[in-house]
Amino acid sequence: MKFRYRHESSLSGGGIQCSNVLWGETGKWPMQNGKFSPEHPIHVYAAQFEMFAWRGYEVSPFPEGDGFILVLKNNQTAEQVIHDIEECFEWQHVQGDSPGTAMKR
């Protein structure tokens, strides 16, 4: 799967360094009745998300289903976050896509 990464400063989250990871097509995996479908990446990649958390990240999926907010517990650099995502999930980082741009698997 391809992903885009937006690294944010510590000021964006009220003193907590938060960033965004966006994947796939907007609206492909939206939350319904307060839950994500079994096909949502948060379920499909559950083991990888656990491994990712051990590297110092807290993940909260967007209700729209097109990515997640990321809390960086160890002030990781953008390069480190991208490396960790590629290593844990084996996803491909793409640059230059604007938010809302559909990406194909």
pLDDT tens digit sequence for 45-80: 999 999 999 999 999 998 888 899 999 888 899 999
The number of folded domains in the chain is 1
* Predicted pLDDT of residue 101: 37
Q: Kindly state the tokens that stand for 19.
A: 């960033």
Q: Which residue has the higher pLDDT, 17 or 72?
A: 72
In a domain, 48, yes or no: yes
In a domain, 84, yes or no: yes
Amino acid at site 17:
Q
CATH number, residue 89: 3.30.70
Which letter, b or e, does each residue of 20-37 get, where b requires 16 or more Cβ atoms within 10 Å of its Cβ?
bbbbbebebbeeeeeebe
In a domain, 63, yes or no: yes
The neighbour count for residue 51, using CB atoms within 10 Å, is 14
Q: Which domain holds residue 54?
A: 2-93
In a domain, 104, yes or no: no
In a domain, 105, yes or no: no
In a domain, 99, yes or no: no
Nearest-angstrom CA–CA distance, 64 and 53:
22
